[in-house]
Amino acid sequence: MFRYKMRIKYEKKLLLMRLSLAFLVSVILFSGLSRAATVMPTAPAKVTARCGRGALLDISGQRVLLVAGSPYEMGYQQGKLLKPQVQAVVKLVLVVAKTAEARQSKDYLFPGGLENAFERTRKFINKRYFDEMRGLADGADIPLKDVQLANVFPELFHCSGFALFGKATVGGKLLHGRILDYMTCVGLQKFAVVTVAKPNGYNSFVTAGYAGFLGSVTGMNDKQIAIGEMGGSCQGHWDGMPMSFLIRKVLEEAETLDEAVNIFRQAKRTCEYYYVISDGKIPDGVGLACTGEKFEVIKSSDVHPQLPYAIDDAVLMSEGKRYEHLAALVKKRYGKIDVPVALELMNRPVAMKHCLHRVLFAPMELKLWVANAADIGEENYAACYQPYYSYNFKQLLSLIPDAAPDSAEIIANKALQ
């Protein structure tokens, strides 16, 4: 009888241990792989400074920049309103590039450095971007050459992305996700800014980027075109338009998905890049695989050697196991993907441990959600662990006046001669 009671007691203890272990495993799986994305409440926009038609806003503690007008005016507005940040970023980029060049690191524009990259790309850059760089340099009180060199730096960004629509999403809504995996250890996240631009004679657009960078690696325009990129190889192939200015050109000039694709097709391109482009008006999206010589369009039903999982109404761009994980998650949630699920798709391990920002665009509604990395001194500082902040692009555009307020600095409309 005593042995029987001891055996019962032992079996109960063993069962409790197994249940506790199962609970622990379920908690780990839920928190690590199915962690719900946090979206912070949106506070009213506060204007902290004005320059011409431009303004610097504080929205829920996040930096939002409004710029408008001629290229020079928009550059000057950014330089003036974000002067300390622009000065810090330009200095940081030049130091990083020089250090990498001294170490002969192929990942950072070696051989030749930023100077070589800029000299070889400059003849392919539109004049209006040189005018904007001149305005940025004047507004921030820094040498024009430093601004020009710093704006070649985004050629190094590497990332993941997706466009989901039609049968893949709830209600057929287009959801375009973009993950920027790049050098959080340098501290670019301290200078993160959402920029809303209303250039004269071109499409308005919004970008998630960094002070001092005039190109775009993550953006959407008012014609419901969204775009992101993923870097490949071919470093040193600089005889073309820098990737970030090419994306900027698409945002400013393309009104349809076909027009966006044609801009890439006809451009003189540089290194190997993969792009995800979507159009909320259709809705539809495509991937592009590009080098200076190669140009491939990848539709949602297409199979590519580096992107072997064809999923209807889904364009997925990533690399290796991150791509496999993203494809598996999309298949698992297929037909049930809404904004909360799409935000979760950009958690680890799809995002890398040095994720700089995550952005989700809803082009049909002209909305976006942005999560930036935190200070490197914080635990789990990468963007994949940070909350999202939501923005209504259309509402932000409405805050840009048609003329400069009386209290704002009037900008002399200079241009590069």
Answer with the residue of higher pLDDT: 25 or 301. 301
Mapped onto helix, strand or coil, the DSSP state of residue 161 is strand
Q: Which pLDDT does position 158 carry in this prediction?
A: 55
- Angle between helix 71-81 and helix 127-140 axes, rounded to 10 deg: 30
Q: Which pLDDT does position 29 carry in this prediction?
A: 33
Q: Which pLDDT does position 182 carry in this prediction?
A: 77
Q: Which pLDDT does position 234 carry in this prediction?
A: 56
User: What is the pTM assigned to this prediction?
Assistant: 0.89
Which tens digits make up the pLDDT trace of 262-290?
999 999 999 889 999 999 999 999 999 99
CA distance 308 to 336: 23
Which tens digits make up the pLDDT trace of 63-87?
999 999 999 999 999 999 999 999 9
Q: Which pLDDT does position 414 carry in this prediction?
A: 65
Sign of the Cα pseudo-torsion (245, 247, 250, 252, in order): negative
Banded pLDDT at 406 (limits 50, 70, 90): confident
Q: Which pLDDT does position 246 carry in this prediction?
A: 97
When mean pLDDT is compared across 15-24, 127-136, 222-231, 375-384, the lowest value belongs to: 15-24
pLDDT at 143 over 70: yes
Average of per-residue pLDDT across 309-324: 92
pLDDT at 236 over 80: no
Q: Which pLDDT does position 27 carry in this prediction?
A: 32
Residue 368 near residue 190 (C-beta atoms within 8 A)? no
Average of per-residue pLDDT across 104-113: 52
pLDDT at 416 over 60: no
- The 8-class DSSP code of residue 351 comes to S
Banded pLDDT at 341 (limits 50, 70, 90): very high
Query: How many percent of the chain have pLDDT more than 70?
Result: 85
Average of per-residue pLDDT across 400-410: 90
Query: How many percent of the chain have pLDDT more than 90?
Result: 70
The radius of gyration of the chain's CA atoms, rounded to the nearest angstrom, is 23
CA distances from 40 to 85, 355, 358, 375, 390 (A): 24, 19, 14, 18, 7
Q: Which pLDDT does position 21 carry in this prediction?
A: 34
Nearest to residue 300, comparing CAs of 291, 350, 309?
309
- The 8-class DSSP code of residue 347 comes to S
When mean pLDDT is compared across 90-104, 105-119, 253-267, 348-362, the lowest value belongs to: 105-119
Average of per-residue pLDDT across 110-115: 64
Sign of the Cα pseudo-torsion (123, 127, 132, 136, in order): positive
- The 8-class DSSP code of residue 200 comes to T
pLDDT at 156 over 70: no
Compute φ and ψ for 360, nearest 5 degrees: -120, 125
